[in-house]
A = this chain, B = another copy of it.
Amino acid sequence: MVKAGRILAAGGLFLLAMGAARAEQDIDTGDTAWVLISAALVMLMTPGLGLFYAGMVRAKNVLGTLMHSFTMVALVGVAWVLWGYSLAFGGDGALIGSLEWIGLRGVTGDPGPYADNIPHLAFMTFQGMFAIITPALISGAFAERMRFGAFLLFMLLWSTFVYSPICHWVWGSGGWLGGLGALDFAGGTVVHISSGIAALACALMLGRRKHLGSEEMAPHNLTMTIIGTALLWFGWFGFNAGSALAADGLAASAFVVTNTAAASAALSWMLVETLHRRRSTALGAASGAVAGLVAITPAAGFVGPVSAVVIGFVVSFLSYGAILLKGRLGYDDALDVVAVHFVGGAWGALATGLFASLAINDGGANGLFFGGGLALLGRQFVGVAATAAFSLIASLIILLLVRVFIPLRVTDEDETIGLDLSQHGEMGYNLEAV
């Protein structure tokens, strides 16, 4: 798959546009500023996700849920530097990277092979933030019941053996999915489908929360969820528009469709709620916004604003439907990762095959609705299917493996007491102490 026009076009057209006075290996300060701030924005998304999730759980699990995101910044933050980046982007293999950049050996402030306009380290850290948030996304599935030690081990393995390979397939030099020519601007497959389907594996393996259905499990603090949504939306500009790897017209275009799809999906989620339940909720508006951001992610650099309105509008119906379906199927994906990230990501990847247009990005392709026929749509489908299949199976294997060493679930008593006290010996709130 082709990430941004940047990567492919790096040796060609773009440089000309940069002005003749710029030497080939020069760093562009504007592009670098944009990629660095984008990396910072994407970093902020992970604690933002923590807030988004933590607001939805019961108060006794608020810190445990925040930790599911926060510790990913720490754990994957270190692992990515030590080996993850090299496995994802090193070498030229079809299936996985190499160990050539282990410990970032040779990755410096000079431009690297993936972008000649920014420091290699900037590209590395921008990518690292994607590697951090992806496993954190999964954690919504097993909220309120996973043992902390098992969680850490699962995530370390998943990041290494699922994320890095898929990332290499799609964006790494020589990666087989990238070679196919399907499009994934900012991580529809790499980030959302991979995590969304891993969430299904987790929900199935961990089982349902105790008393689900009988006890009330209403979100304990939706204001926290709204704050998280705001930070996610804000950070997503870095996620999508930063994926242009340059501060150019393509970045602006990705920025605009990102905002538009999120806005459209927030509205349509409110609409579907009103149709179903006669009221539109704050949680619904937030959920819609996130679903819209997920859906536009693979398409961001390839579609125009009116297409973004449609992509966003449709995703809420699909994700909302998937949530209702979950109720019927009976698995406990506590915070609806499957419905939002897998369903939303798959829709976005396929929608790219419908709405992509060379008028938006001449490094992309035309989708079905813009005269491109079914070719791109087919390639998009292969991307979705391959990513989902691999991530589902590999996640199940890793969970089985972890279970050999540590039980996946907390004890019943600890689940009753909550993760905060049982796993961390803390309480989120002591609002009434003297």
Q: Which residues of A does B touch, CB under 8 Å?
A: 17, 19-23, 26-34, 36-37, 39-41, 43-44, 47-48, 50-51, 54, 58-60, 62-63, 66-67, 70-71, 73-75, 77-78, 81-82, 103-104, 108-110, 118-122, 124-125, 128, 148, 215-224, 226-227, 229-231, 233-234, 237-238, 241, 246-253, 255-256, 259-260, 262-264, 266-267, 270, 277, 279-283, 285-286, 288-289, 304-306, 309, 420, 423-434
Contacts and interface: CB of A to CB of B under 8 A. Distances in A.
A233 B28 contact: no
A78 B36 contact: no
Give 6 closest A-B pairs by Cβ, nearest first: A109-B249, A29-B30, A77-B263, A47-B230, A30-B30, A74-B266
Contacts of A433: 58-59, 216-218, 220
Contacts of A81: 256, 260, 305-306, 309
A109 B250 contact: yes
Contacts of A34: 29, 32-33, 36-37
Contacts of A120: 252
A125 B21 contact: no
B227 A425 contact: no
A425 B222 CA distance: 12
A30 B264 CA distance: 30
A389 to B, nearest CB: 31
A116 B246 CA distance: 18
A245 to B, nearest CB: 11
Copies of this chain held together in the complex: 3
Contacts of A270: 71, 74
A28 B26 contact: no
A30 B118 CA distance: 12
A124 B256 contact: yes
A288 to B, nearest CB: 8
A248 B26 CA distance: 10
Residue in A48, A128, A263, A433 whose Cβ sees the most chain B Cβ within 10 Å: A263
A220 B431 contact: yes
